[in-house]
A and B are shown apart, each in its own frame.
Chain A
Amino acid sequence: MSSNSSSGAGSSFGTGLPPAVDLRAKSRPGERVIRIVLVASALISVAITFGIILALIEPVIAFFREVPFGDFFAFEGDFAVLPLVTATLMVTVIALLVAVPLGLGAALYLSEYASRRSRKILKPTVELLAGVPSVVYGFFALTFVTPTLLQDILNVGVGFTNALAAGLVLGVMIIPTIASLAEDAFSAVPHALRQGSFAMGANRMQTSVRVVLPAALSGVAAAVVLGMSRAVGETMIVALAAGALKNFSLDPREGMQTMTGFMAQTAGGESPVGSLDYNNLFAVGMLLFLITLVLNMVSISFVRRFRQVY
């Protein structure tokens, strides 16, 4: 083998190409099939997104033919959407207040403090939380958080359904999303940066907060926004625990219906196809879609802007 290759590589260089080498183009049909399959799978998700938008548009147009914009973007009235929007924001903010500190704390612990062994056990456990069905969280909020935790233990005067319990439990639900993605972002920070920081005489907390966190900022922001999108779009918890009454209020102790809660209720009710209530559902759905779309766009631009090339 050695004599063969050395004569091929060594001596043939000066004398010209040996005749046995075939460099003609070959057809590779397998490669084309793979390519088509991959393009198709990429296109299908795009097509589905556009399909959803198209399906939304027709009832939305029908809705706004009968109901003026002013009646839709109003705080009061049968078709007012703003109480639903404020309720959604309220619940989401409460959820983020719970999930961002706990999620980032868990992520920093897992990536910067935990030994390899405890990380191996803890990370899948945290991710397990993401696998709990949201209806279970909803009943947890309704039957434990509101009556036992809030009313009995903490003595907060909350109603049977309230935004506080829904937000708290929603926050717990999105902890794994934030923790897991943020942990990935922290782990992707090169070890050399941590070493540089330790070599300057920094301790672990300073290294984590002043070097690792800023270096992973874009990934952390993406994690938070994804958690937020999940909170905005989550239905079951808020339908059960936040209430089924449109209520424009800034008091989280009151029950209030969110956009998703309204949609679940209307879709489950007896609104005939093509009726005004039915079309209202799509108008709210469209608005929700636009809100999450904007959130995702903000997150993408944020990720691009702060992405570090190490």
Chain B
Amino acid sequence: MSTTPATSSTSRTDQGQIGSLAGVHSDSDRELPAHPAQPVMEAKDLNVFYGDFHAVHDVNLAYGRNEITAMIGPSGCGKSTVLRCLNRMNDLVAGARVEGQVMYHEQDIYAKNVDPIAVRTHIGMVFQKPNPFPKSIYDNIAYGPRVTGMKVDNMDDLVEEALRGAALWDEVKDKLKQSAYGLSGGQQQRLCIARTIATKPDLILMDEPCSALDPIATARVEDLMLQLRNDYTIIVVTHNMQQAARVSDRTAFFTARPDETTGNRTGLLVEYDLTSNIFSNPSDKRTEDYISGRFG
């Protein structure tokens, strides 16, 4: 009981921070239509089950080309689950079942004749914890093109291009043959981004890409995301509302609704809008409560 005053004072500060951050949103000058004009990917009535557990309920989301879409929400709201559906990574989870459609280039990637491996060559993914392979920096980048059988004229050029694309080239150009594990956490994460863009994907999915990084490394990755937006479409899951406000064009807010009988929490999409609207003028009470720090 004695801690209550402290909590409420924290939430007041949070609210102030969020408000000011939304105000200084770095891309407020970017003019975007209210809805993605030509979505590069679209989830339709997406439902995900893990065994009997209904993890995500009826998500409909369209991701715009060359935009950064952030998916935010409290723990267990299904945002990472939705992200993993977009390149069929949920196939690797035992007992996972996906219903509905994920449209990509007018094809449902969950259609029967679709090869999940082919899907993943077009839709790259960066994970929460940097996960470079136990190989040299060079071989980490070359891995994707090699395994997918990409036609490469000069692998050295491709490696350089990918590392430059991830703003890592200058830091590693003299130690390409050294183990990737010698890099710092932030460098490793940018290496993972470089590794992903080496296969020249359409979309890059990022699952809390900065949650294991310090603020400086986080800032560099965020800068990188804004640069990559020119060539790629990025969908990012983040716990960090300030990050969503800083980098994303659109924000999807998810929450978890407990089932009345079982108590299992099923994730659902509450609101999806331009990031500036979500943070300054949310239309749903639950979104407002979340971004102002009243829950989650």
Q: Which residues of A line the B interface, CB within 8 A?
A: 2, 6, 10, 115-116, 190, 192-203, 206, 210-211, 214-215, 308-310
Q: Choose from A10, A200, A214, A308 the contact partner of B195 (Cβ within 8 Å).
A: A200
Whether A198 contacts B89 in the complex (CB less than 8 A), given A308-B134, A309-B181, A310-B134, comes out as yes
Contact indicator A6/B2 (Cβ below 8 Å):
yes
Which partner residue on chain A sits nearest B121 by CB separation?
A: A201
Which partner residue on chain B sits nearest A201 by CB separation?
A: B121
Q: Contacts of A190 on B, CB cut-off 8 Å?
A: 131
Contact indicator A10/B127 (Cβ below 8 Å):
no
The reply to whether the CB of B75 lies closer than 8 angstroms to some CB of chain A is: no
Q: Contacts of B2 on A, CB cut-off 8 Å?
A: 6, 10
Contact mask for chain B residues 192-207; partner A; CB cutoff 8 A; 1 contact, 0 none: 1001100100000000
Enumerate B109-157 residues with CB–CB distance to A below 8 Å: 117-118, 120-121, 124-125, 127, 129, 131-135, 143-144, 147-148
Q: Contacts of B131 on A, CB cut-off 8 Å?
A: 190, 192-193, 195-196
Q: Contacts of B87 on A, CB cut-off 8 Å?
A: 199
Contact indicator B134/A215 (Cβ below 8 Å):
yes
Whether A200 contacts B196 in the complex (CB less than 8 A), given A195-B127, A210-B147, comes out as yes
Contact indicator A199/B120 (Cβ below 8 Å):
yes
Give the interface residue-count category, chain B.
20 to 34
The reply to whether the CB of B94 lies closer than 8 angstroms to some CB of chain A is: yes
Q: Choose from B1, B125, B135 the contact partner of A199 (Cβ within 8 Å).
A: B125
CA distance A228 to B40 in the complex (A): 56
Which partner residue on chain B sits nearest A206 by CB separation?
A: B147
The reply to whether the CB of B92 lies closer than 8 angstroms to some CB of chain A is: yes
CA distance A201 to B196 in the complex (A): 10
Contact indicator A308/B147 (Cβ below 8 Å):
no
CA distance A275 to B127 in the complex (A): 70
Contact indicator A215/B133 (Cβ below 8 Å):
yes
Which partner residue on chain A sits nearest B201 by CB separation?
A: A201
CA distance A180 to B133 in the complex (A): 24
CB distance from B94 to the nearest CB of A (A): 7
Contact indicator A211/B148 (Cβ below 8 Å):
no
CA distance A195 to B89 in the complex (A): 8
Contact indicator A197/B89 (Cβ below 8 Å):
no
CA distance A198 to B195 in the complex (A): 13
Contact indicator B127/A214 (Cβ below 8 Å):
no
Which partner residue on chain A sits nearest B1 by CB separation?
A: A2
Count A/B pairs, Cβ under 8 Å: 79
Interface of A is mostly: helix
Q: Choose from B1, B129, B135, B144 the contact partner of A201 (Cβ within 8 Å).
A: B144
Q: Choose from B94, B117, B127 the contact partner of A203 (Cβ within 8 Å).
A: B117
Which partner residue on chain B sits nearest A217 by CB separation?
A: B134
CA distance A296 to B117 in the complex (A): 42
Which partner residue on chain A sits nearest B126 by CB separation?
A: A199
Whether A196 contacts B89 in the complex (CB less than 8 A), given A206-B147, A210-B143, comes out as no
CB distance from B200 to the nearest CB of A (A): 11
Most buried by B among A193, A196, A198: A196
Q: Contacts of B195 on A, CB cut-off 8 Å?
A: 196, 200
CA distance A126 to B84 in the complex (A): 35
Per CB-CB distance, the 8 closest pairs between chain A and chain B, nearest first, are: A201-B121, A199-B125, A192-B131, A200-B144, A202-B147, A196-B131, A201-B120, A201-B148
Contact indicator B147/A198 (Cβ below 8 Å):
no
CA distance A99 to B120 in the complex (A): 36
Which partner residue on chain A sits nearest B148 by CB separation?
A: A201
CB distance from B77 to the nearest CB of A (A): 21
Q: Choose from B1, B125, B134 the contact partner of A214 (Cβ within 8 Å).
A: B134
CB distance from A221 to the nearest CB of B (A): 14
CB distance from A73 to the nearest CB of B (A): 42
CB distance from A103 to the nearest CB of B (A): 22
Contact indicator A192/B129 (Cβ below 8 Å):
yes
CA distance A306 to B48 in the complex (A): 41
CA distance A2 to B3 in the complex (A): 11
Q: Contacts of B124 on A, CB cut-off 8 Å?
A: 199-200
Q: Contacts of A310 on B, CB cut-off 8 Å?
A: 134
CA distance A40 to B135 in the complex (A): 42
Q: Contacts of B3 on A, CB cut-off 8 Å?
A: 6
CB distance from B21 to the nearest CB of A (A): 31
CA distance A54 to B248 in the complex (A): 73
CB distance from B184 to the nearest CB of A (A): 14
Q: Contacts of A198 on B, CB cut-off 8 Å?
A: 89, 92, 117, 120
Q: Contacts of A214 on B, CB cut-off 8 Å?
A: 133-135
Contact indicator A192/B127 (Cβ below 8 Å):
yes
CA distance A308 to B181 in the complex (A): 9
CA distance A220 to B224 in the complex (A): 39
CA distance A206 to B144 in the complex (A): 11
Q: Contacts of A197 on B, CB cut-off 8 Å?
A: 133, 143, 147
CB distance from A205 to the nearest CB of B (A): 10
